[in-house]
């Protein structure tokens, strides 16, 4: 019985909308009829997962005798939420001694600096004291940008003394300042150069060692631009091979209906998505909730 797999969708061209609106439109007002598999593939779940999810939905729908649109959506939502749920998706801010050090890695333009700004604001709102380290020392603009976020969030900025200064020395100083201020959190912005895996590995390794002389690393967050779709996968894999990543931040989920990439990455990399970015503003981020996300996908 193929009937339960058919859902109503809008035309193929997806307009730029918010995540909820964009993806909701996939299951919205009828214009076309398409197979769920195709919809999931278009939303960037990847072929394998799309087939798997469709099959599971079909099985579950048959088992439960579900066939109405509403019943199928509910089943699909529960199925997606279950698949997206991991026990390690919370930010690790509860164990070890202060300061909690968070390294932020990812290619240029992914949204590292913006994410740090948003996260530091959220932490400051929760009365955590925060020191930001501008270890992306090769771009003066990156340092200035981080400085702006530090001002806006009320965090301390540790900046390089000169352009091109060893990023590891900035990372070291950041932790040193955090310790001297009894700060709760140190967040270190790194350069996103990926032209050479060995260089990247050397640089991140050096930063790690500099930090670990004084403190433990609580998180290594890999920031990924969700609008890169499946192309983000190769980049992400390269980083996970060199950086001991502990969690993913998916940015720009506001500008795409392709939220399935979140599922693809989480399962392919076997890493939790911890935060999502949904805009350029300081409050435009959220801790990842599988339930909310799945709801947005099929509501």
Q: Residues interacting with ligand GDP, by CB under 6 A?
A: 106, 108-114, 145, 192, 223, 251-252, 254-255, 277-280, 284
Nearer to ligand GDP, 280 or 291 (CB): 280
Cβ-proximal residue to ligand GDP, closest one: 277
What are the residue ranges of helices labelled H in 87-230?
112-125, 140-153, 167-180, 197-212
DSSP 106: -
Nearer to ligand GDP, 16 or 82 (CB): 16
191 vs 119: CA distance, rounded Å: 18
- Least Å distance between CB 136 and ligand GDP? 7
- Least Å distance between CB 22 and ligand GDP? 12
Nearer to ligand GDP, 114 or 240 (CB): 114
- Least Å distance between CB 189 and ligand GDP? 7
- Least Å distance between CB 172 and ligand GDP? 21
DSSP SS3 for 157? strand
A 10 A CB-CB count for 45 gives 28
DSSP SS3 for 102? strand
Closest CA relative to residue 177, chosen from 127, 206, 140, 135: 135
Closest CA relative to residue 122, chosen from 92, 165, 152, 82: 152
- Least Å distance between CB 280 and ligand GDP? 4
- Residue 280, H or E segment: none
Binding residues for GTP: 106-113, 189-193, 251-254
Nearer to ligand GDP, 129 or 256 (CB): 256
Nearer to ligand GDP, 99 or 117 (CB): 117
- Least Å distance between CB 249 and ligand GDP? 9
Strand partners, 8: 33
Residue 97 region by backbone torsions, left for phi larger than 0, else alpha for psi between -120 and 50, else beta: beta
Nearer to ligand GDP, 145 or 173 (CB): 145
Binding residues: 106-113, 189-193, 251-254
For every residue of 223-279, DSSP letters joined together read EEEGGGTTHHHHHHHHHHHHH---EEEEE-GGG-S-THHHHHHHHHHT--EEEEE-S
């Amino acid at each position: 019985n193929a009937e339960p797999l058919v859902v109503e969708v809008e035309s193929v061209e997806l307009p730029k909308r918010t995540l909820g609106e964009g993806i909701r439109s996939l299951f919205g007002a009828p214009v076309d009829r398409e197979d769920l598999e195709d919809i999931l593939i278009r939303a960037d779940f990847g072929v394998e997962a799309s087939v798997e999810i469709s099959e599971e939905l079909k099985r579950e729908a048959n088992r439960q005798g579900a066939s109405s649109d509403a019943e199928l959506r509910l089943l699909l939502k529960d199925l997606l939420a279950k698949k997206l749920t991991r026990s390690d998706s919370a930010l690790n801010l509860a164990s070890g001694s202060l300061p909690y050090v968070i390294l932020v890695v990812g290619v240029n333009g992914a949204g590292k600096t913006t994410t740090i700004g948003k996260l530091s604001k959220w932490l400051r709102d929760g009365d955590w004291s925060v020191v930001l380290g501008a270890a992306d020392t090769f771009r003066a603009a990156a340092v200035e940008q981080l400085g702006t976020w530090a001002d806006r969030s009320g965090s301390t900025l540790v900046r390089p003394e000169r352009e091109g200064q060893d990023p590891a020395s900035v990372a070291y100083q950041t932790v040193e300042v955090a310790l001297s201020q009894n700060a709760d959190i140190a967040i270190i912005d790194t350069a996103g150069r990926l032209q050479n895996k060995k260089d990247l590995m050397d640089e991140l390794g050096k930063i790690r060692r500099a930090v670990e002389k004084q403190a433990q690393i609580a998180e290594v967050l890999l920031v990924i631009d969700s609008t890169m779709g499946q192309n983000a996968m190769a980049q992400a894999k390269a980083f996970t091979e060199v950086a001991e990543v502990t969690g993913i931040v998916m940015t720009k989920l506001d500008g795409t209906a392709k939220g399935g990439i979140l599922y693809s990455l989480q399962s392919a990399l076997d890493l939790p998505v911890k935060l999502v970015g949904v805009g350029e503003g300081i409050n435009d981020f959220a801790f990842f909730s599988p339930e909310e996300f799945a709801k947005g996908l099929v509501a």
